[in-house]
Structure 1
Amino acid sequence: MSVFPLRSDARRPRRRRGAFLAALAVSTVVLAACTGGGGGDGDAGESTGPAGSADAVIDTEAVLRVGSAYIISSLDPGAGTSGSDQQLLYFLYDRLTTFDPETGEVLPNLATSWEFSDDGTEFRMQIAEGVTFHDGTPLDAQAVVDSLTHYKELGVQLDLAPVQSMEAVSPTEVVLRLDRPYSSLPSLLGDRAGMIVSPTAVETLGDGFASAPVGAGPYRFVSQVPGSSLTLERNPDYWKGEPQLAGVTVTFYSDETARLAAARSGQLDVTTVLALPDVEAARDIAGMSVVETPSVRFGQLFLNSAIPPFDDRNVRLALNHAMDRQAYVDAVTEGLGSIAFGPFPPSSVFFNSEDAFPYDPEKAKELLAESGTPSIQVTCQTFNAAGNDVTAPLLVAQAKAVGIDMSLDVRDTATSIANMASGQEPCLFSQWGGRPDPAMSLTQLYSTSGTYNYGQAKHGRIDELIAIVDSTFDQDERAAAIRDVVGELTVEAPHVPLYFNPLFDLVGDRVVGWEPNFQGKVDFSGVALAK
């Protein structure tokens, strides 16, 4: 059996059945940061002013003011569907595992150690002692089981589908029994599934839990104005030590001009995910610095292959060949991004989609003719967000040029994603961010149990190939298995990837401890403000 010890300098597990997973993921992201015109990885990991200073004097009464372009979809980790939620959920919830922000290695957290059985179908975790939730409930093994059960029962995120049963065998030990080997498990417990919620609050509040969430993270919920703001306060009983901020306020902006104006007038300490056309203007804001964050975030048209017109593979392939991806790189990313034919860039060890869908309008028309529907009308969901206003007319024009009459239904983020999640909408333009493990992206986007495979349609051999990835623990063999999945994506065309999108954040010079990570989702729950 393989064991993950608490300290990175302690004995390593014999088969390394989890630590290498995120290391493979980071090889994608770090190399991706070196591609395109994004300035290389030298700028990506740097922060300026006190943010990188170990001798800054911390203002422990300060409140961090964050400006976000993305409205959180839910404050219940298991109920949300937006990839941008995690940055805010990190404040409220501690996770079973975490990861090294630079190397991506999976590290202990609430789970102080873990092990797989030799056949990979049993997973044991040791849980940290002395941790309590914000409401005073002990965070013990039974609380972990209750939280994981809540996550599964919500049925929104399906990444715990292989878990058939759970048991707290002692106050500090949890056993998960799986229906098959699942090598991604340690990594995904550092994401939504591993964000442990208070069982007392879930039982008491029921469906209202997301309106008054209770976790065990460094900050406690105070209030929210849905779609407008979120207010948090310091958790003085945080098990890792009292946080350095008195609190956090997050303001959600639907207007990029207003958000940049707020930063310029000194109303914000951090502005996450700048609109790319605003990056150069943001560099001139006094007292703040633009920081590039490594990312493999990519923009794509998500398709629902379970309903017309995208239940026909030829229609999906036609739409892929209708896209002039370089036009998106130039117009949407200001030339800073790169073309996307799949979920990993060419610099990644998982890349296997070279020129998969060359821009070829004539071929697109031929594929539509073969489908029997040479003229198609379709309405796709989308929302107001940085770059979407540029993407929208390109999508409509390029689709129309081959005989697909596309219109866009623009809503707020939560509504458009919820509409698509209903399984009744054919398409959604959005972006996909990194995950702690590359197989998580493959499963969530393309498998029949994938939350973002809207309609849960089966695509060729993808399910079978992902199962091989899940059952493989050897690093090189697993990378090869992931490449096999990516190759099948070029045959089945379940979605329409368009461009890799660099990320830029605007960070105040008083900010201390700003630490970009390989997912492109900064965990700034450990951030402080200098006096």
Structure 2
Amino acid sequence: MKTLALSARLGAATALLLCAVSTVFAQADARPVLTISSGFADVTTMDPHRATAIGDKGVVSSLFDGLVRFPPGSADPKTLQPDLAEKWEVSSDNRVWTFRLRKGVQFHGGYGELKAADVVFSLRRAADPKRSSFAANFAIVDKIEALDEYTVRITLRYPDAAFLGRVSNYHGGNIVSKAAAEKLGDQFGQTPIGTGPFAFGEHVTQQVVKLVANDAYFRGKPKLAGISYRMIPADSARDLAFASNELDMAIGKREQRWVERTSKRGVKVDVFEPAEFRTLFLNRTIKPLDNLKVRQAIAAAINVDDIVRYAGKDVADKGCSVVPNGYLGGDCSTGAYVYDIARAKSLLAEAGYPNGITLKSVVSNAAAQQPIMEIVQAQLAKVGVKLEMEVVDHATYQAKSRQDVSAIVFYGAARFPNADYWLTEFYDSAAAIGAPGAMSNFAHCAVADDAIRKARIEPDAQKQLALWKRAQVQIHEDVCAIPLFGLKQVWARSDRVDYGYELKGALNLQPPITERTTVTRSAR
């Protein structure tokens, strides 16, 4: 067992952090600690500009803030409100955004007051492919300047009426301490410094991450002493821990049967947006998937309706495009791929594979992934496609998926609900695995680059929608990917827990734990 935060290798910087954290914890010990399990074997990183896994995003959401924020319990961009910026102005052409920062906001661990220099550093870092997994979302930015200690001006390369979403408390919009990030370097992801209602306390590998209350939080002292994230990847073990009151909250199985069974036991089950959009990406760099007829055959072999029925009516919505349901710019005019076993076999024969093919895929053992891929495996077998699955833990799956070792990548994600974000990350060739600006283009799709890039800078809303439609049609015809369904978030919650808000959605895929959240029991 290794306690990463206590490692002597982090030196004086970590010692100072832990001293500050310990003081806060000592002052807060009369308050309860909320215990959660997000279902993963460990956190990968707590660096907000690198955190893409579900198990990481929930932790990060309590540690960091953005210039603006989604109110707790909302995933609707229309509800964005001030966060670290108390107000802002935008030029008439939507190209120059000026943010006025709150005064007195303090970073965790004694790193001082938030200033404009921290915001400039953070957003430049978020835009740097070498330091951020969300760099493509900031390609729109031309300049980021500190006009004074509390004023930041951002100039865009082209107009973007929805720019606030990029600097919200989500992904690359999270603000880090410049001094801490520069001092801690590669260790920042294990010793994060933000301004959120909770501060990093301790990480015991594959056991627990502990956050402690930030009593200096600008919105007020948290009602909790802290949050304990327990690493319990096994569904049965996690269900047992919840049933025995060792957990106050736990990620549930996003299956209809689980939701119904758990609800009947009197447990509060929260099902909320956004749905993680499940997609099968066909890696066009791995033969024979470079052959269009083979990709068409695979699309014809997948019975999406059966997969959706398995997931369940309360938790799954069938996809109608490569852009998730409900996203601005999503277009369903092409319709879904038609399930047709005879056609799939015929296409394979036409492609020169009458006896079938063998493909390999690395698959996560997560409850929301492995069972679906087993269904896909069985469906493909009916047309002569043998899918050899290497089932691994989720962190290994994430890493291997970005090494081009899978012919088929099954991936689920939720992003800011705008077609540009989705198309840029998953279908622009600049985001292909191995490219300098790599994000999540597992298919190495390049067919819609022109439409995606023109839409990104198109100021006319109707023309932009038309370009997004064209991109989706091109991707559909090239069969870069097979959209499956949106899978909503499912969490079990003890009736002792009061979120402190109404939960309708959460872009970070976990019910937000805020300064108002509490649990009615003594501190552990």
> 2:374 maps to which residue?
393
How big is the shift at 1:209? 1.0
What SS does the aligned partner of 2:77 have?
A: coil
Q: Indicate yes or no: 2:476 matched with 1:495.
A: no
- What corresponds to 1:485 in structure 2? 471
After superposition, where does 1:46-445 map in structure 2 within 5 Å? Answer: 61-70=31-40, 71-83=42-54, 85-100=56-71, 101=74, 103-105=76-78, 106-135=80-109, 136-151=111-126, 152=128, 153-158=130-135, 159-190=137-168, 191-276=170-255, 277-285=257-265, 288-333=267-312, 336-342=315-321, 343-345=323-325, 350-353=330-333, 355-373=335-353, 375-445=356-426
How many angstroms apart in 1 are the aligned matches of 2:220 and 2:459?
35
Aligned to 1:465, the other structure's residue is in SS state helix
Q: Aligned equivalents of 2:175 and 2:286: distance in 1? A: 36
Determine the C-alpha separation between the residues in 2 that align with 1:518 and 1:481.
29
TM-score normalised by the chain length of structure 1:
0.80
Contact 1:127 1:141 in 2 (8 A): yes
Shift of 1:349: 7.2
The size of the alignment, in residue pairs, is 472
Amino acid at match of 2:43: I
Q: SS state of the match for residue 113, structure 1? A: strand
Partner of 1:454: 441
For 1:18-37, list aligned pairs within 5 A. none
**Cα distance in 1, alignment partners of residues 351 and 96 from structure 2:** 46
Q: Which secondary structure does the structure 2 equivalent of 1:291 belong to?
A: strand
CA distance in 2, matches of 1:154, 1:102: 26
Distance 1:455 1:497, change over 3 A: closer
Aligned pair in 2 of structure 1 residues 85, 165: CA closer, same or farther (>3 Å)?
A: same
Cα pair distance change 1:483/1:98, threshold 3 Å: farther
| Mapped partners of 1:62, 1:150: distance in 2 | 36
User: What is the one-letter code of the residue matched to 2:173?
Assistant: G
- Give distance in 1, aligned partners of 2:55 and 2:391: 19
Task: Return the alpha-carbon distance in structure 2 between the equivalents of residues 334 and 227 of structure 1.
Answer: 34
Residue 443 (structure 1) shift: 1.8
1:344 maps to amino acid: P
1:344–1:350 Cα contact (<8 Å) kept: yes
Q: In 2, are the aligned partners of 1:147 and 1:199 still within 8 Å (CA)?
A: yes
3-state SS, counterpart of residue 374 of structure 2: helix
Q: CA deviation at 1:263?
A: 0.9
Give the 3-state SS of the residue equivalent to 1:525 in structure 2: coil
Matches within 5 A, 1:510-525: 510-512=496-498, 513-519=500-506, 521=509, 522-525=511-514
Deviations along 1:157-216, one digit per CA (max 9) or x if unpaired, are 232233344222221222334444444431122211111111222112111111111111
Mapped partners of 2:443, 2:67: distance in 1: 28
What are the ranges of 5 or more consecutive residues in structure 2 without an aligned counterpart? 1-28, 432-437
SS in structure 2 opposite 1:296?
Answer: strand
Deviations 1:487-515 (A, max 9, x none): 33322322222223233221111222253
Deviates more, 1:490-499 or 1:370-379: 370-379
User: In 2, Cα distance between the equivalents of 1:76 and 1:469?
Assistant: 30
Residue in 2 aligned with 1:46?
Answer: none
Q: Which moved more, 1:216-225 or 1:381-390?
A: 381-390
CA deviations 1:80-118 (Å, max 9, x no partner) are: 232553222111111122124164313221133344545
Would you say 1:465 and 2:444 are equivalent positions?
no
Distance verdict in 2 for CA 1:112–1:366, change over 3 Å = farther
Report the CA distance between 1:412 and its aligned residue.
Answer: 1.4
Is the alpha carbon distance of 1:424 and 1:347 closer, same or farther for their aligned partners in structure 2, counting shifts above 3 Å?
Answer: closer
Moved more, 277-286 or 136-145: 277-286
CA distance in 1, matches of 2:99, 2:292: 43
Letter in 2 for 1:154: R
CA contact (8 A) 1:320 1:357 kept: yes
Q: Deviations over 1:22-61 (max 9, x none)?
A: xxxxxxxxxxxxxxxxxxxxxxxxxxxxxxxxxxxxx970
* Aligned positions of 1:33-44 closer than 5 A: none
CA offsets per residue over residues 221-271 of structure 1, 9 Å max, x none? 011123332100000111111111110001122211111111111111111
Q: CA deviation at 1:405?
A: 1.9
CA distance in structure 1 between the partners assigned to 2:297 and 2:429 by the alignment: 22
Change (3 A) 1:305 1:408: same
How much does 1:455 deviate? 5.5
TM-score by structure 2 length? 0.81
For residues 49 and 400 of structure 2, the distance between their equivalents in structure 1, rounded to whole angstroms, comes to 18
Whole-Å separation in 2 of the counterparts to 1:309 and 1:60: 62
Which one scores higher on RCO, CA 8 angstroms, separation ≥ 6?
A: 1
Q: CA separation in 2, counterparts of 1:319 and 1:373? A: 13
* 1:133–1:356 distance in 2 versus 1, CA, 3 Å: same
The 8 Å contact of residues 75 and 505 in structure 2, kept in 1 or not, is answered as yes
Name the CA distance, whole Å, in 2 between partners of 1:339 and 1:202: 42
Go from structure 1 to structure 2 and tell me whether the alpha carbon gap of 1:264 and 1:108 turns closer, same or farther (over 3 Å shift): same
Decide whether aligned partners of structure 1 residues 268 and 501 sit closer, same or farther in structure 2, where only a CA change above 3 A counts.
same
Q: How many Å apart are 1:121 and its aligned residue?
A: 4.4
Deviation at 1:401, TM superposition (A): 2.4
Distance (Å, rounded) in 2 between the aligned partners of 1:67 and 1:111: 32
Distance in 1 separating the partners of 2:61 and 2:278 = 24
Residue type of the alignment partner of 2:185: G
1:364 to partner: Cα distance: 2.4
User: 3-state DSSP class of the match of 1:501?
Assistant: strand
Distance 1:339 1:289 in 2: 25
Cα RMSD, aligned residues only: 2.9
Measured after TM superposition, the shift of residue 294 of structure 1 is: 2.9
In 2, the alpha carbon distance for the partners of 1:175 and 1:306 equals 42
> SS of 2:172's equivalent?
helix
- Counterpart of 2:503, as a letter, is P
